Amino acid sequence: MISYDVIEHGKPLQRVVKDTPKPQGSEVLVRVTRSGVCHSDLHIWDGYFDLGGGKKFYVKDRGCVPPFTLGHEPFGVVEALGSGAKGVAVGQKKLVYPWIGCGTCAMCKAEQDNYCLQQRFLGVFRPGSYATHLVVPDAKYLVDADDVEEGFAATLACSGLTVYSAIRKLPALTARDWVVVLGCGGLGLIALSTLRALGFERVIACDVDESKFAAAKAAGARETVNSHDLPTALGHLHQVSGAAVAGALDFVGMPATFNLGTAALAKGGRYVLVGLFGGEVTFSLPPIAQRAIAIMGSYVGTLQELREVVALARAEGIALAVEPSLQAVERIARSMPAQLSSTAQDLARRKPSEIDHLNGFIARRGRELGVAVPVNQTLAALVKLVEAGYERGE
Ligand SMILES: NC(=O)c1ccc[n+]([C@@H]2O[C@H](COP(=O)([O-])OP(=O)(O)OC[C@H]3O[C@@H](n4cnc5c(N)ncnc54)[C@H](O)[C@@H]3O)[C@@H](O)[C@H]2O)c1
Ligand SMILES: [Zn+2]
Ligand SMILES: [Zn+2]
Protein backbone atom coordinates (compact mmCIF):
# COMPACT_ATOMS: atom_id res chain seq x y z
CA MET A 1 0.00 0.00 0.00
CA ILE A 2 0.96 3.63 -0.38
CA SER A 3 0.41 6.38 2.16
CA TYR A 4 1.35 10.05 2.33
CA ASP A 5 2.74 10.51 5.81
CA VAL A 6 3.71 13.31 8.16
CA ILE A 7 7.37 12.54 8.81
CA GLU A 8 8.03 15.82 10.56
CA HIS A 9 5.45 18.41 11.68
CA GLY A 10 5.08 21.28 9.22
CA LYS A 11 7.18 19.57 6.52
CA PRO A 12 5.78 18.20 3.22
CA LEU A 13 4.07 14.82 3.42
CA GLN A 14 6.15 11.92 2.14
CA ARG A 15 5.06 9.05 -0.05
CA VAL A 16 5.69 5.81 1.78
CA VAL A 17 5.31 2.28 0.37
CA LYS A 18 4.59 -0.37 3.02
CA ASP A 19 2.97 -3.76 3.39
CA THR A 20 -0.80 -3.72 3.12
CA PRO A 21 -2.10 -4.72 6.57
CA LYS A 22 -4.02 -7.97 6.95
CA PRO A 23 -7.20 -7.40 8.95
CA GLN A 24 -7.33 -9.37 12.22
CA GLY A 25 -10.38 -10.41 14.26
CA SER A 26 -13.21 -7.92 13.77
CA GLU A 27 -11.10 -5.62 11.58
CA VAL A 28 -12.01 -4.62 8.04
CA LEU A 29 -9.54 -3.51 5.37
CA VAL A 30 -10.92 -0.69 3.20
CA ARG A 31 -9.38 0.41 -0.11
CA VAL A 32 -9.68 4.19 -0.01
CA THR A 33 -11.29 5.72 -3.10
CA ARG A 34 -12.03 9.20 -1.70
CA SER A 35 -10.59 11.17 1.19
CA GLY A 36 -11.67 14.60 2.38
CA VAL A 37 -9.25 17.20 3.70
CA CYS A 38 -10.21 19.08 6.86
CA HIS A 39 -8.60 22.13 8.40
CA SER A 40 -7.96 19.99 11.50
CA ASP A 41 -5.48 18.07 9.34
CA LEU A 42 -3.57 21.33 9.03
CA HIS A 43 -3.54 21.88 12.80
CA ILE A 44 -2.30 18.32 13.39
CA TRP A 45 0.25 18.63 10.60
CA ASP A 46 1.45 21.88 12.26
CA GLY A 47 1.78 19.77 15.41
CA TYR A 48 -0.11 21.94 17.89
CA PHE A 49 -3.26 23.82 18.78
CA ASP A 50 -2.87 27.46 19.80
CA LEU A 51 -4.08 27.89 23.38
CA GLY A 52 -3.36 31.63 23.35
CA GLY A 53 -0.93 33.70 25.39
CA GLY A 54 2.00 31.80 23.86
CA LYS A 55 0.71 28.46 25.16
CA LYS A 56 0.44 25.50 22.83
CA PHE A 57 -1.18 22.08 23.00
CA TYR A 58 1.26 19.74 21.25
CA VAL A 59 -0.38 16.77 19.57
CA LYS A 60 2.70 14.61 20.18
CA ASP A 61 2.02 14.88 23.93
CA ARG A 62 -1.26 13.03 23.26
CA GLY A 63 0.33 10.20 21.31
CA CYS A 64 0.16 11.71 17.84
CA VAL A 65 3.87 11.32 17.09
CA PRO A 66 5.33 11.27 13.53
CA PRO A 67 5.49 9.30 11.35
CA PHE A 68 1.73 9.03 10.92
CA THR A 69 -0.94 9.10 8.23
CA LEU A 70 -3.53 11.88 8.32
CA GLY A 71 -7.04 11.73 6.85
CA HIS A 72 -10.28 11.35 8.80
CA GLU A 73 -12.82 11.65 5.95
CA PRO A 74 -12.50 8.20 4.30
CA PHE A 75 -14.73 6.58 1.72
CA GLY A 76 -13.85 3.33 0.02
CA VAL A 77 -14.45 -0.30 -0.92
CA VAL A 78 -14.24 -3.21 1.51
CA GLU A 79 -11.25 -5.25 0.36
CA ALA A 80 -10.68 -7.86 3.08
CA LEU A 81 -12.23 -9.03 6.33
CA GLY A 82 -10.76 -10.31 9.57
CA SER A 83 -11.96 -13.75 10.64
CA GLY A 84 -14.44 -12.23 13.11
CA ALA A 85 -15.71 -9.34 10.98
CA LYS A 86 -19.50 -9.42 10.61
CA GLY A 87 -22.21 -7.51 8.77
CA VAL A 88 -20.19 -6.47 5.75
CA ALA A 89 -19.05 -8.07 2.50
CA VAL A 90 -16.00 -7.64 0.29
CA GLY A 91 -16.72 -5.23 -2.57
CA GLN A 92 -19.23 -3.06 -0.70
CA LYS A 93 -18.71 0.70 -0.86
CA LYS A 94 -18.75 2.35 2.56
CA LEU A 95 -18.28 5.64 4.33
CA VAL A 96 -16.03 5.22 7.38
CA TYR A 97 -16.90 6.73 10.77
CA PRO A 98 -13.43 7.74 12.02
CA TRP A 99 -14.16 8.91 15.60
CA ILE A 100 -13.58 5.49 17.08
CA GLY A 101 -13.11 4.90 20.80
CA CYS A 102 -11.96 1.92 22.87
CA GLY A 103 -15.15 0.01 22.04
CA THR A 104 -15.69 -1.22 25.59
CA CYS A 105 -16.39 1.78 27.86
CA ALA A 106 -19.91 3.07 28.63
CA MET A 107 -19.53 5.90 26.10
CA CYS A 108 -18.53 3.54 23.30
CA LYS A 109 -21.31 1.09 24.17
CA ALA A 110 -23.75 3.98 23.84
CA GLU A 111 -22.22 4.73 20.39
CA GLN A 112 -20.74 7.96 21.72
CA ASP A 113 -17.22 6.94 20.78
CA ASN A 114 -16.33 10.58 20.18
CA TYR A 115 -16.47 11.10 23.98
CA CYS A 116 -14.31 8.05 24.78
CA LEU A 117 -11.18 8.76 26.82
CA GLN A 118 -9.12 6.14 24.93
CA GLN A 119 -9.57 7.42 21.43
CA ARG A 120 -8.55 5.41 18.37
CA PHE A 121 -9.53 8.18 15.94
CA LEU A 122 -8.56 7.29 12.37
CA GLY A 123 -6.21 9.84 10.83
CA VAL A 124 -5.25 11.11 14.29
CA PHE A 125 -4.22 8.22 16.56
CA ARG A 126 -4.55 5.43 13.96
CA PRO A 127 -3.45 5.55 10.31
CA GLY A 128 -5.92 7.57 8.24
CA SER A 129 -7.11 7.93 4.67
CA TYR A 130 -4.26 9.80 2.99
CA ALA A 131 -3.46 6.30 1.79
CA THR A 132 -4.60 3.57 -0.55
CA HIS A 133 -5.73 1.36 2.36
CA LEU A 134 -7.13 1.81 5.84
CA VAL A 135 -7.88 -0.63 8.66
CA VAL A 136 -11.19 -0.10 10.46
CA PRO A 137 -11.41 -1.90 13.86
CA ASP A 138 -15.00 -3.10 13.38
CA ALA A 139 -17.60 -3.21 10.59
CA LYS A 140 -20.04 -1.29 12.79
CA TYR A 141 -18.09 1.88 11.91
CA LEU A 142 -18.92 1.46 8.21
CA VAL A 143 -21.93 3.44 7.02
CA ASP A 144 -23.93 3.00 3.81
CA ALA A 145 -23.92 6.14 1.71
CA ASP A 146 -25.45 4.83 -1.54
CA ASP A 147 -26.95 7.58 -3.69
CA VAL A 148 -24.64 10.23 -2.23
CA GLU A 149 -21.86 11.34 -4.60
CA GLU A 150 -18.75 9.59 -3.26
CA GLY A 151 -16.50 12.62 -3.02
CA PHE A 152 -19.16 14.52 -1.09
CA ALA A 153 -20.00 11.47 1.04
CA ALA A 154 -16.40 11.36 2.29
CA THR A 155 -16.69 14.89 3.70
CA LEU A 156 -19.69 13.87 5.77
CA ALA A 157 -17.41 11.84 8.08
CA CYS A 158 -16.05 15.03 9.64
CA SER A 159 -17.34 18.29 8.12
CA GLY A 160 -20.92 17.12 7.64
CA LEU A 161 -21.10 15.25 10.94
CA THR A 162 -19.46 17.99 13.02
CA VAL A 163 -21.77 20.62 11.60
CA TYR A 164 -24.87 18.49 12.12
CA SER A 165 -23.95 17.77 15.74
CA ALA A 166 -23.31 21.48 16.38
CA ILE A 167 -26.65 22.48 14.84
CA ARG A 168 -28.42 20.00 17.09
CA LYS A 169 -27.00 21.86 20.07
CA LEU A 170 -28.86 25.06 19.12
CA PRO A 171 -31.86 26.02 21.23
CA ALA A 172 -35.34 25.36 19.79
CA LEU A 173 -35.81 28.06 17.19
CA THR A 174 -39.00 30.05 16.62
CA ALA A 175 -40.04 31.73 13.39
CA ARG A 176 -38.56 35.08 14.48
CA ASP A 177 -35.13 33.69 15.40
CA TRP A 178 -31.89 34.03 13.42
CA VAL A 179 -28.77 31.89 13.36
CA VAL A 180 -25.29 33.29 12.68
CA VAL A 181 -22.68 31.07 11.00
CA LEU A 182 -19.13 32.29 11.65
CA GLY A 183 -16.66 31.17 8.97
CA CYS A 184 -17.65 30.14 5.43
CA GLY A 185 -14.96 27.53 4.80
CA GLY A 186 -15.51 23.78 4.53
CA LEU A 187 -17.56 23.49 7.72
CA GLY A 188 -19.38 26.81 7.44
CA LEU A 189 -20.69 26.10 3.93
CA ILE A 190 -21.98 22.66 4.88
CA ALA A 191 -23.58 24.26 7.95
CA LEU A 192 -25.47 26.69 5.72
CA SER A 193 -26.85 23.95 3.49
CA THR A 194 -27.64 21.72 6.48
CA LEU A 195 -29.54 24.51 8.23
CA ARG A 196 -31.51 25.09 5.05
CA ALA A 197 -32.19 21.38 4.68
CA LEU A 198 -33.50 21.30 8.24
CA GLY A 199 -35.83 24.19 7.46
CA PHE A 200 -33.97 27.07 9.17
CA GLU A 201 -33.93 29.89 6.67
CA ARG A 202 -33.02 32.96 8.70
CA VAL A 203 -29.27 32.50 8.57
CA ILE A 204 -26.52 35.11 8.38
CA ALA A 205 -23.05 34.02 7.26
CA CYS A 206 -19.91 35.86 8.41
CA ASP A 207 -16.37 35.70 7.09
CA VAL A 208 -13.45 38.08 6.68
CA ASP A 209 -12.92 36.86 3.12
CA GLU A 210 -15.66 38.31 0.90
CA SER A 211 -14.79 35.89 -1.91
CA LYS A 212 -16.62 33.26 0.20
CA PHE A 213 -19.94 35.10 0.13
CA ALA A 214 -21.23 33.94 -3.27
CA ALA A 215 -20.85 30.32 -2.19
CA ALA A 216 -22.40 31.15 1.20
CA LYS A 217 -25.48 32.65 -0.49
CA ALA A 218 -25.75 29.67 -2.82
CA ALA A 219 -25.53 27.32 0.18
CA GLY A 220 -28.43 29.04 1.92
CA ALA A 221 -27.29 32.20 3.73
CA ARG A 222 -29.97 34.85 3.56
CA GLU A 223 -27.45 37.59 4.42
CA THR A 224 -23.67 37.84 4.54
CA VAL A 225 -21.67 40.10 6.84
CA ASN A 226 -17.96 40.89 6.73
CA SER A 227 -16.82 40.31 10.30
CA HIS A 228 -13.46 42.05 9.99
CA ASP A 229 -14.42 44.91 12.32
CA LEU A 230 -16.33 43.79 15.43
CA PRO A 231 -18.47 46.91 16.16
CA THR A 232 -19.48 47.27 12.49
CA ALA A 233 -20.23 43.56 12.11
CA LEU A 234 -22.22 43.51 15.36
CA GLY A 235 -24.27 46.49 14.16
CA HIS A 236 -25.04 44.62 10.91
CA LEU A 237 -26.04 41.46 12.72
CA HIS A 238 -28.40 43.35 15.02
CA GLN A 239 -29.88 45.28 12.12
CA VAL A 240 -30.46 42.25 9.88
CA SER A 241 -31.80 40.04 12.66
CA GLY A 242 -33.80 42.66 14.53
CA ALA A 243 -31.59 41.73 17.52
CA ALA A 244 -33.00 38.17 17.44
CA VAL A 245 -29.91 35.99 17.10
CA ALA A 246 -30.84 32.81 18.96
CA GLY A 247 -27.77 30.83 17.93
CA ALA A 248 -24.20 31.44 16.80
CA LEU A 249 -22.19 28.58 15.30
CA ASP A 250 -18.47 29.35 15.32
CA PHE A 251 -16.53 27.41 12.68
CA VAL A 252 -13.41 29.56 13.16
CA GLY A 253 -12.88 29.55 16.92
CA MET A 254 -10.66 32.52 17.60
CA PRO A 255 -11.09 35.54 19.92
CA ALA A 256 -12.58 37.70 17.14
CA THR A 257 -15.32 35.19 16.30
CA PHE A 258 -15.96 34.29 19.96
CA ASN A 259 -16.42 37.97 20.81
CA LEU A 260 -18.72 38.58 17.84
CA GLY A 261 -20.75 35.40 18.27
CA THR A 262 -21.39 35.86 21.98
CA ALA A 263 -22.07 39.62 21.66
CA ALA A 264 -24.59 39.06 18.86
CA LEU A 265 -26.79 36.69 20.89
CA ALA A 266 -30.21 37.76 22.05
CA LYS A 267 -31.10 36.94 25.65
CA GLY A 268 -31.36 33.18 26.08
CA GLY A 269 -29.24 32.56 22.98
CA ARG A 270 -26.56 29.91 22.53
CA TYR A 271 -23.02 30.13 21.15
CA VAL A 272 -21.57 26.82 19.92
CA LEU A 273 -17.79 26.69 19.49
CA VAL A 274 -16.47 24.27 16.87
CA GLY A 275 -13.47 25.93 15.19
CA LEU A 276 -10.00 25.32 16.55
CA PHE A 277 -8.04 28.26 15.12
CA GLY A 278 -7.22 29.06 18.74
CA GLY A 279 -6.33 31.80 21.17
CA GLU A 280 -7.77 32.85 24.51
CA VAL A 281 -10.32 35.37 25.73
CA THR A 282 -11.15 37.21 28.93
CA PHE A 283 -14.87 37.33 29.50
CA SER A 284 -16.96 39.24 32.06
CA LEU A 285 -19.07 36.82 34.06
CA PRO A 286 -22.23 38.69 35.16
CA PRO A 287 -23.57 39.23 31.60
CA ILE A 288 -23.57 35.46 30.98
CA ALA A 289 -26.10 35.12 33.77
CA GLN A 290 -27.90 38.40 33.12
CA ARG A 291 -28.36 37.63 29.42
CA ALA A 292 -29.02 33.94 30.19
CA ILE A 293 -26.77 32.92 27.30
CA ALA A 294 -25.06 29.54 26.89
CA ILE A 295 -21.53 28.93 25.67
CA MET A 296 -20.74 25.38 24.68
CA GLY A 297 -18.33 23.36 22.62
CA SER A 298 -19.06 20.67 20.06
CA TYR A 299 -16.64 17.99 18.97
CA VAL A 300 -17.28 15.89 15.85
CA GLY A 301 -20.35 13.66 16.44
CA THR A 302 -21.73 10.21 17.15
CA LEU A 303 -22.12 7.23 14.82
CA GLN A 304 -25.89 7.68 14.92
CA GLU A 305 -25.51 11.33 13.97
CA LEU A 306 -23.40 10.28 10.98
CA ARG A 307 -26.18 7.94 9.84
CA GLU A 308 -28.64 10.80 10.20
CA VAL A 309 -26.52 13.25 8.26
CA VAL A 310 -26.08 10.71 5.45
CA ALA A 311 -29.86 10.27 5.36
CA LEU A 312 -30.19 14.03 5.12
CA ALA A 313 -27.73 14.19 2.24
CA ARG A 314 -29.44 11.28 0.49
CA ALA A 315 -32.80 12.95 0.52
CA GLU A 316 -31.20 16.17 -0.77
CA GLY A 317 -31.88 17.92 2.43
CA ILE A 318 -34.44 15.86 4.26
CA ALA A 319 -33.83 13.55 7.20
CA LEU A 320 -35.11 10.26 5.81
CA ALA A 321 -34.40 8.57 9.11
CA VAL A 322 -37.50 10.07 10.64
CA GLU A 323 -39.54 10.86 7.57
CA PRO A 324 -41.25 7.46 7.57
CA SER A 325 -42.32 7.87 11.18
CA LEU A 326 -43.88 11.23 10.48
CA GLN A 327 -45.54 9.86 7.36
CA ALA A 328 -47.02 7.14 9.51
CA VAL A 329 -48.23 9.69 12.02
CA GLU A 330 -49.74 11.73 9.20
CA ARG A 331 -51.48 8.69 7.74
CA ILE A 332 -52.97 7.77 11.07
CA ALA A 333 -54.03 11.34 11.66
CA ARG A 334 -55.66 11.51 8.22
CA SER A 335 -57.60 8.34 8.51
CA MET A 336 -58.70 8.93 12.07
CA PRO A 337 -59.31 12.61 12.75
CA ALA A 338 -60.48 11.83 16.25
CA GLN A 339 -56.99 10.53 16.97
CA LEU A 340 -55.30 13.84 16.21
CA SER A 341 -55.01 14.70 19.84
CA SER A 342 -53.34 11.40 20.70
CA THR A 343 -50.95 11.93 17.76
CA ALA A 344 -50.05 15.23 19.32
CA GLN A 345 -49.54 13.56 22.67
CA ASP A 346 -47.33 10.97 21.05
CA LEU A 347 -45.19 13.72 19.53
CA ALA A 348 -45.03 15.53 22.83
CA ARG A 349 -43.33 12.48 24.35
CA ARG A 350 -40.60 12.44 21.71
CA LYS A 351 -37.01 13.36 22.44
CA PRO A 352 -35.92 16.86 21.38
CA SER A 353 -33.50 15.33 18.85
CA GLU A 354 -36.35 13.53 17.10
CA ILE A 355 -38.39 16.69 17.08
CA ASP A 356 -35.48 18.46 15.32
CA HIS A 357 -35.66 15.96 12.48
CA LEU A 358 -39.38 16.19 12.25
CA ASN A 359 -39.05 19.92 11.84
CA GLY A 360 -36.95 19.45 8.69
CA PHE A 361 -39.65 17.27 7.20
CA ILE A 362 -42.42 19.59 8.27
CA ALA A 363 -40.72 22.55 6.58
CA ARG A 364 -40.62 20.64 3.27
CA ARG A 365 -44.17 19.33 3.57
CA GLY A 366 -45.27 22.89 4.28
CA ARG A 367 -43.65 24.09 1.06
CA GLU A 368 -45.29 21.24 -0.90
CA LEU A 369 -48.74 22.10 0.45
CA GLY A 370 -48.16 25.84 0.19
CA VAL A 371 -48.78 26.27 3.91
CA ALA A 372 -46.76 28.67 6.05
CA VAL A 373 -45.80 26.51 9.03
CA PRO A 374 -44.12 27.79 12.16
CA VAL A 375 -40.53 26.56 12.16
CA ASN A 376 -39.62 24.46 15.18
CA GLN A 377 -43.11 24.28 16.61
CA THR A 378 -43.67 20.70 15.67
CA LEU A 379 -47.06 20.06 17.21
CA ALA A 380 -48.76 23.14 15.88
CA ALA A 381 -47.09 22.66 12.50
CA LEU A 382 -48.16 19.04 12.23
CA VAL A 383 -51.77 19.86 12.96
CA LYS A 384 -51.70 22.61 10.32
CA LEU A 385 -50.21 20.27 7.73
CA VAL A 386 -52.70 17.52 8.37
CA GLU A 387 -55.57 20.00 8.11
CA ALA A 388 -54.20 21.37 4.84
CA GLY A 389 -53.87 17.81 3.49
CA TYR A 390 -57.52 17.13 4.34
CA GLU A 391 -58.63 20.29 2.60
CA ARG A 392 -56.84 19.19 -0.57
CA GLY A 393 -58.37 15.77 -0.22
CA GLU A 394 -54.99 14.01 0.25
N1 LIG B 1 -14.81 20.78 16.85
C2 LIG B 1 -14.74 19.88 15.88
O3 LIG B 1 -15.22 18.77 16.03
C4 LIG B 1 -14.08 20.21 14.57
C5 LIG B 1 -14.24 19.33 13.49
C6 LIG B 1 -13.71 19.69 12.27
C7 LIG B 1 -13.01 20.88 12.13
N8 LIG B 1 -12.83 21.68 13.20
C9 LIG B 1 -12.11 22.95 13.10
O10 LIG B 1 -12.99 23.90 12.50
C11 LIG B 1 -12.21 24.94 11.88
C12 LIG B 1 -12.72 25.19 10.48
O13 LIG B 1 -12.44 24.08 9.64
P14 LIG B 1 -12.68 24.21 8.05
O15 LIG B 1 -12.22 22.91 7.47
O16 LIG B 1 -14.04 24.72 7.79
O17 LIG B 1 -11.60 25.36 7.72
P18 LIG B 1 -11.46 26.28 6.43
O19 LIG B 1 -10.05 26.70 6.37
O20 LIG B 1 -12.08 25.61 5.25
O21 LIG B 1 -12.40 27.57 6.76
C22 LIG B 1 -12.09 28.56 7.70
C23 LIG B 1 -12.87 29.82 7.30
O24 LIG B 1 -12.77 30.77 8.38
C25 LIG B 1 -12.61 32.06 7.81
N26 LIG B 1 -12.04 32.97 8.82
C27 LIG B 1 -10.77 33.05 9.25
N28 LIG B 1 -10.66 34.02 10.18
C29 LIG B 1 -11.91 34.52 10.36
C30 LIG B 1 -12.45 35.55 11.19
N31 LIG B 1 -11.71 36.23 12.04
N32 LIG B 1 -13.78 35.81 11.09
C33 LIG B 1 -14.57 35.13 10.23
N34 LIG B 1 -14.10 34.14 9.42
C35 LIG B 1 -12.79 33.85 9.50
C36 LIG B 1 -11.71 31.81 6.61
O37 LIG B 1 -11.75 32.89 5.67
C38 LIG B 1 -12.32 30.53 6.05
O39 LIG B 1 -13.39 30.81 5.14
C40 LIG B 1 -10.76 24.44 11.96
O41 LIG B 1 -10.12 25.06 13.05
C42 LIG B 1 -10.92 22.95 12.21
O43 LIG B 1 -9.80 22.39 12.85
C44 LIG B 1 -13.37 21.37 14.41
ZN1 LIG C 1 -12.04 17.18 10.49
ZN1 LIG D 1 -14.49 3.95 24.90
Task: Specify the pairing of strand 2-6 against strand 74-81.
Answer: unpaired
Pocket test for ligand 1, best of 38, 167, 168, 194 (most atoms within 8 A of CB): 38
- From the centroid of its chain, how far is CA 120? 20
Q: Is the peptide bond before 127 cis (omega within 30 degrees of 0)?
A: no
Residues less than 5 Å from ion ligand 3, measured at CB: 101-102, 105, 108, 116
Query: Would you state the pLDDT for residue 338?
Result: 44
Among 244, 217, 1, which Cα is nearest to 128's? 1
pLDDT of 172 above 50:
yes
Report, in this order, helix, strand and coil percent for the chain, each rounded to 5.
40, 20, 40
Is pLDDT at 198 greater than 60 in this prediction?
yes
The pLDDT value given to residue 324: 35
Half-sphere exposure of 386 (CA within 13 A, CB side): 24
Mean pLDDT value of segment 143-167: 93
Enumerate the CATH 3.40.50.720 domain ranges in the chain, comma separated.
170-297
Q: Which of 199-213, 335-349, 371-385 has the highest mean pLDDT?
A: 199-213
pLDDT at 175 over 90: no
Backbone angles phi, psi at 11, to 5 degrees: -100, 155
Q: Which CATH code for domain 2-158?
A: 3.90.180.10
Among 107-111, 257-261, 363-367, 373-377, the range scoring the smallest mean pLDDT is: 373-377
Is residue 229 within 8 Å of 208, Cβ to Cβ? no
**Mean per-residue pLDDT for 173-182?**
93
Each residue of 92-133: pLDDT tens digit? 999 999 999 999 999 999 999 999 999 999 999 999 999 999
Instruction: In the chain, list all ranges with CATH 3.90.180.10.
Output: 2-158
What mean pLDDT do residues 367-378 have? Answer: 57
The pTM for the full model equals 0.82
Mean pLDDT of the region 277-302: 97
Judge whether residue 267 has pLDDT over 50.
Answer: yes
Class of domain 170-297: alpha beta
pLDDT value of position 219: 86
For 53-88, how does the pLDDT look when each residue is reduced to its tens digit (9 = 90+)?
999 999 999 889 999 999 999 999 999 999 999 999
Q: Which residues contact 147 (CB under 8 A, 6 or more apart)?
A: 314
* Position 253 pLDDT exceeds 70: yes
For the CA of 301, the closest atom of ligand 1 is: 3
Contacts of residue 15, Cβ cutoff 8 Å, sequence gap at least 6: 2, 3, 4
CB of residue 40 inside a 6 A radius of ligand 1? yes
Contact 124 CB / ligand 1 (< 6 Å): no
The mean pLDDT value for 324-329 works out to 43
